[in-house]
Structure 1
Amino acid sequence: MLVALESYAAYLAKGARVGDNLPGRGYLKLAKPPELDVARGEQVYAAKCAVCHGGGGEGQVTADGDVVFPPLWGSRSYNWGAGMSSVTNAAGFIKANMPLSQGGTLNDEDVWAVAAYIDSRERPQDPRFSGSVAETRKAHHDSDYDFYGKMVDGRLLGENSPPSGTVPR
């Protein structure tokens, strides 16, 4: 199977030079909203995302533990250092790809709101954590579109994050 995947990747890259900015690379860039509406995002999530990713963001796995739909927050989700922990990146990804097989069907307001809701939930610690949430935020998350180190629902996000790293299945 690995050889097949490597062969496919080599085929896709045929003719591409190192450093070329190929179509589809990176996250879709959307015009930023005047504010992030987390409450609206919770409603959008319940209506459009929970069926696959679970009501508590836990994702879905097979009986063997293989991931079918990834968790979006909690101890098994991506960590605070991942690109998707930036609401800007998450919004671009969601707009282009979600709901599954229906990319481009959510309006920008809903996309920003659901990205904010997802990224305002707790997740594993940023691997660059310095021992201080405030210092880590200042060094790596200093943006209005990043919830790490912000107070949400009476909790400082990142303060009680489980250690980053591989979580066993």
Structure 2
Amino acid sequence: AERIQGCFQFSMNGKPPAADSPQMTALSVYAYWLSTKAPTGVEIAGRGYPDVPQPKGGYDFKRGEAVYQAQCAICHGDNGEGQKVAGDYVMPPLWGKDSYNWGAGMHRINTAASFIKYNMPLGKPGSLSDQQAWDVAAWVNRHERPQDPRLVEGSIEKTRLKFHANDGVNLYGQQVDGVLIGRGSGS
């Protein structure tokens, strides 16, 4: 239940259902049903995605912007706004007020790079190099998104130290081009 609640709170930037709610029971039972006959204690093929090591030269925002415009904007929009049909997102926003918040695992550049490498672009997973995956992940995660709901005493720095300092490669609480990342956008 806590894992599912975390998805609601961070990745979806929403309010999680109570652990004892009918909705949580339904989601938990569904997850249990999905794993029927799956072996326990064994890594199942297709689960998750491998880590993509950080390239020797690190990441580059300008290269990431170019990859984004060439490979991602068609689905996620020129400004990361996603796409809606009949008022509902059919392609998620990657930054801005409706995207995942700073507490989501995807805010980590290393996590986003691995997800992107093995799942994107739509219909062509694995077509980006490791470098391109890191570059575009950094580009996406240099943009503002809703605040981490665990904000400590209204302080980005205290929140960075408590939740983000040893949390993979991320930009939360860092200065990028003179802008403090993590202020939050429309959360």
| Normalised-by-shorter TM-score class | 0.7 to 0.9
Question: Does the residue aligned with 1:68 lie in a helix, a strand or coil?
Answer: strand
What aligned pairs does 1:75-114 form with structure 2 within 5 A after superposition? 75-114=97-136
Unaligned 5+ runs, structure 2:
1-22
Unaligned 5+ runs, structure 1:
165-169
Question: Which digits, 9 at most, give the CA deviation of each residue in 1:5-40, with x for residues without a partner?
Answer: 999755531123566543333342011123121111
What aligned pairs does 1:39-78 form with structure 2 within 5 A after superposition? 39-62=62-85, 64-78=86-100
Per the TM alignment, residue 155 of structure 1 is displaced from its structure 2 partner at its CA by 1.2
Distance 2:61 2:162 in 1: 24
Structure 1 runs of 4+ aligned residues shifted over 4 Å read 5-11, 17-20
Please, which of 123, 129, 140 is the counterpart of residue 118 of structure 1? Answer: 140
Q: Is the 8 A contact 2:96 2:186 kept in 1?
A: no
Question: Does the residue aligned with 1:110 lie in a helix, a strand or coil?
Answer: helix
TM-score between the two structures when normalised by the length of structure 2:
0.76
Please tell me the residue identity of whatever aligns with 1:152.
V
Question: Which digits, 9 at most, give the CA deviation of each residue in 1:28-77, with x for residues without a partner?
Answer: 20111231211110010000000110000000001x21111000000000
- Cα 1:23/1:140, change in 2 over 3 Å: farther
Question: Which digits, 9 at most, give the CA deviation of each residue in 1:118-167, with x for residues without a partner?
Answer: 011100000111111011111111157101111123210112x1364xxx
Aligned residues: 159
Question: Does the residue aligned with 1:127 lie in a helix, a strand or coil?
Answer: coil
Greater Cα shift, 17-26 or 130-139: 17-26
Q: Is the 8 A contact 1:28 1:89 kept in 2?
A: no
Aligned to 1:147: 171
Give the percent of matched residue pairs that are identical in Structure 1 and Structure 2. 50
Distance 1:140 1:25 in 2: 26
Aligned to 1:167: none
TM-score between the two structures when normalised by the length of structure 1:
0.84
Distance 1:6 1:154 in 2: 44
Please tell me the residue identity of whatever aligns with 1:118.
V
Residue 132 (str. 1) matches residue 171 (str. 2):
no
Q: Is the 8 A contact 2:64 2:132 kept in 1?
A: yes
Question: Does the residue aligned with 1:92 lie in a helix, a strand or coil?
Answer: helix
